[in-house]
Structures are given as structure tokens and as C-alpha cells.
Amino acid sequence: MIIRLFLPLTFLFFFLNFNFEEPSCQCDFRILPETEQINGLKTFIKPGDVVCIMAGKRKNLQLINIEGDSLNPVKVINCGGRVEISNLVLGYGIKLDNCHYIKLTGTGDENFEYGFLIDSTKKGASGIMVGKGSSDFEIDHMEIRNSGFAGIMAKTDPECDGNYNRGTFVQKNVSIHHNYIHHVKGEALYVGNSFYSGWNGNKKCPDTLLYPHELKNVKIFNNKISNTQWDGLQLGCAVSNAEIFNNSIDSFGLANIGSQRNGIQVGLGTTGLVYNNRVSNGMGNGIIVLGIGDNIIYNNLISNCGEFGIFCDNREVRDSSKIILVNNSILNPKKQGIKMSNELTDNYILNNVIVRTGEPGDKKDYYISFGDKAEAKTEGNFTSNKKSLLKPLLQSAFVSEVAQKGRRQDVFSVDEDINGKARRKSGSPDPGCTEF
């Protein structure tokens, strides 16, 4: 049942009389647990409205045709406690179809950090799915666990008729933050399509190469991710103003599938910033960069990864673009700390810390290595194979050996460290993600 407030007096008395114990949320609509679908065209939801999802257990929630505007988004929020969703039948827990300027938030009750819990979806089904041309959305304070595939999937696959393809549709102004996603069968966050160079996976026209839509102005931050069978976080086709920052990603790629085991994947067609993330204990690369260039990776703490700390592959890039890796700390990767296979000619690897245990012997590529035709300017990087340096970064031994071992550089200014501490303005800088 959908209850719209501010009804005529007679009907208002009826609802108040039979719902006198309901919490006093500031709502324009109240959605009871038995309601599975909200269609904005049928319920007359308008920009600026607050749609309250009443606390309790429910099977699923589908939001269709919800339309806010740039100044007055529609807010969908939990009310009266936590909303709990479990669904082993449908292909989602919560689904957004053709929704624009909408904020889905679990901040409706101060007693719960995550006001929505999506617990268990069937095999191949994601906790939250955003598609069918949805754009201009925000998702925050959700807990998602035991998904049959991704925690949150946000993309619209290209259609044979071209409705959602590149050049026709852009998914823009995306903000995904302060979510807790764990124990999922696929990626925790799957934002944008993986096939920037073309996709022929549409069963209606399998012989046609379709080009996925672009994303612009995407921010993914302050998410807590753990125990994913595939990648921790991946972003694809984000051609401008993309940022991935302040995320914590632990225990990723546990299924150990070759191309699906990275902590953060900067996917094909993606540019932008990746910074202040903590990535640890995975089967693959800490961060893999497949983007179109002008990718800047800084202030990340990467530890105990099964492959490279940072791997920049040789994929489709913009002309005259570059990749900058600066002030990252890479601890105990199984392979090299940084592997550069991208053939751009203006790459930079500056002021990183790489601690890799074992005996390097005569291998010159023990810490940083290059593929054929790949190159980069490398300065101020601190490397060591001492096990004692794998302990917490602020220990005195680490500080005395690493502090001020970097080089002054004017390629990209890093004004603060991973903890928000200002970096010194004079003298030799500290390498790595932490300012000592």
C-alpha cells in the first residue's frame, strides 16, 4: 500500500486513526512493506517529494519513472527503523528503472548506520540494479550482503534500437557512497559497462556490435567492501570527471577467476582520479588501469595482493594522454609493485613506496617493471625488501628509513596524505601515501 499524506480531512482522519503508532517521519508518501512497486507516473510523485519506505521485512522494491529535477531530487528513505529485503526469486533486491534526479538513502533512522539491508538475492542477481536509462542518482548508507552477483550494478546495456547506446544516452551525476557491501558472488560495485570498445552480447541482435553509453561526473567514495568473489569495485566507460576515493576494500577476487580478481578496476573508457583508497588481501591486482588515459592514481595504500600492486595495461587510450602514479604505498605484492604495460609516452611513476619481501637478486624489475614499448619517468620511489617495513606505516623504523626520501615534482600536486594531513611544502617530500 502507498499512503500519500496531506489528504482531505475525512481520509486523513481514517489513516491517522488506524496508523497512530507509525513514526513521525517527514514524508510525502509512505510505502508499506507489502508494496513491491512504486511508479511515479501513477502515484504523482513530484520533484522534491520524500518517499518513505516503512521499516520491516519486504521481498523487493522496484522504483519506476521517478522524476525529480536538478534542484529538487526525489528522496527515497527508510522510516521507523531498518528496511530489510530478502529475495531469492526476482533478479534484484531494489531496482531503479527510468529514474532521474533521485536519492536512495538509508539515513532515515539514527539508530542504524545503514537503514537498508539487502540480504540474499538469487544466483546472478544483484542487490541493487540501476538501469533502463536511469541517471542523476545517489545511493548511500545501504548494507548489501549475500548477493547472487554484484552488490550494486549501475548501467544500462546498449539496445539493438540504439535507445541507450553511446551518442544517445549518458548516465551522469552518479554518487555512490557510505555503503557496506560484503560476501557477494560478483563485484561489490559494478558501475558502467565493461566493453567500451563494443559489445555483441545483446541476444536480440547477437551479430551487431553495440557501443555502451558513456558516464560523466561519477563519484564513488567512502564505501566499505569486503569478501567479494570477483572484483571489489569496477568503473567503466566514465569518460570525464570520475573519482574513486576513500574506499576500503578487503579480501577481493576470492573465486580467483583470471580477469575478475582486482581490488579496483579502472575499466575501459575511464579517466579520472583514484585516491585515498585502502586495498588489501586480494587474489589479483590491487588497482588495474585499463582506461583511456589521464588517469591519476595517488595516496592509495595497497597491501598483500596476489599479483601486482598497480597494473596499467595496454588498452585503448586518448592521444596525448598520460598515466600518473604518485605517492602510493604498495606493501608485499606477490609480483612487482608496479607493472606499466601502457604505451603512452608521457607516463610518470613518482614518490611511491614499494616494499616487497624476498631476494631480488639481479632482477632490475623486482619493484617496477615495463612491458614492451612501455615507458615512464620514475623519480623519488622508495623500494625495499625488508620484512620489518611491512608493519604499520607509522612505526619508528619505517619513518626513519622512508621519511623525506622522495623528490620534488611539479607533475601533479599532492597536498594531503591518505589521512588528510597536509604535506610539507619545503624540503624533500615523503614518498608513499602517508606524511610523516
* pLDDT on residue 373: 86
The answer to whether residue 428 scores a pLDDT higher than 60 is yes
* pLDDT on residue 8: 35
pLDDT band per the 50, 70, 90 thresholds, residue 330:
very high
Render pLDDT for 38-95 as a digit per residue (tens, 0 to 9): 999 998 999 999 999 999 999 999 999 999 999 999 999 999 999 999 988 888 999 9
* pLDDT on residue 198: 92
Cβ partners under 8 Å of residue 353, min gap 6: 328, 329, 330, 331, 381, 382, 383, 402, 431, 432, 433
Inter-residue contact 80 to 54 (CB < 8 Å)? yes
* Distance, CA of 134 to chain centre: 17
Backbone angles phi, psi at 363, to 5 degrees: -70, 120
Q: Which three cell numbers stand for residue 122?
A: 538469487
* pLDDT on residue 363: 72
Residue in the structure block whose three cell numbers are 596499467: 312
Q: Which three cell numbers stand for residue 292?
A: 583511456
* pLDDT on residue 394: 64
Beta strands 74-87 and 248-252 are: unpaired
Alpha-carbon span 86 to 26, nearest angstrom: 26
Average pLDDT for 159-183: 96
CA-nearest of 96, 93, 134 to 116 is 93
Range from 137-151, 269-283, 382-396, 400-414 carrying the lowest mean pLDDT? 382-396
Alpha-carbon span 224 to 226, nearest angstrom: 7
Mean pLDDT, the chain, whole residue set: 91
Alpha-carbon span 137 to 174, nearest angstrom: 5
* Structural domains of the chain, ranges and CATH numbers in brackets: 22-385 (2.160.20)
* pLDDT on residue 5: 53
Range from 18-27, 275-284, 321-330, 383-392 carrying the lowest mean pLDDT? 18-27
Largest CA distance in the chain: 87
Alpha-carbon span 199 to 213, nearest angstrom: 11
Alpha-carbon span 414 to 263, nearest angstrom: 23
Per DSSP, what are the bridge partners of residue 31?
A: 2, 53
* pLDDT on residue 3: 59
Alpha-carbon span 395 to 408, nearest angstrom: 24
Render pLDDT for 82-113 as a digit per residue (tens, 0 to 9): 999 998 888 899 999 999 999 999 999 999 99
* Distance, CA of 346 to chain centre: 27
| Run of H or E including 152 | strand 152-154
Written as one letter, the residue type at 296 is: I
The answer to whether residue 1 scores a pLDDT higher than 90 is no
Inter-residue contact 63 to 75 (CB < 8 Å)? no
The answer to whether residue 251 scores a pLDDT higher than 60 is yes
Residue in the structure block whose three cell numbers are 597494473: 311
Q: Which three cell numbers stand for residue 109?
A: 533512522
Q: Which three cell numbers stand for residue 422?
A: 597536509
Residue 269 burial by Cβ neighbours in a 10 Å radius (0-12, 13-18, 19+): buried
* pLDDT on residue 361: 67
Average pLDDT for 358-367: 76
Inter-residue contact 152 to 189 (CB < 8 Å)? yes
Neighbouring C-alpha atoms within 13 Å toward the C-beta of 22: 24
Render pLDDT for 286-315 as a digit per residue (tens, 0 to 9): 999 998 999 999 999 999 999 999 999 977
pLDDT band per the 50, 70, 90 thresholds, residue 389:
confident
* Distance, CA of 46 to chain centre: 29
Could you count the other beta carbons within 10 Å of the beta carbon of residue 87?
22
* pLDDT on residue 6: 40
The answer to whether residue 392 scores a pLDDT higher than 80 is no
* pLDDT on residue 19: 41
Alpha-carbon span 126 to 189, nearest angstrom: 10
Residue 421 burial by Cβ neighbours in a 10 Å radius (0-12, 13-18, 19+): exposed
Range from 61-70, 188-197, 207-216, 336-345 carrying the lowest mean pLDDT? 336-345
Inter-residue contact 175 to 202 (CB < 8 Å)? no
Q: Which three cell numbers stand for residue 175?
A: 554518487
| Interior angle at CA 152, CA 149 and CA 153, nearest 5 | 80
Inter-residue contact 236 to 191 (CB < 8 Å)? yes
CA-nearest of 396, 310, 390 to 350 is 310
Inter-residue contact 94 to 118 (CB < 8 Å)? yes
Average pLDDT for 247-274: 96
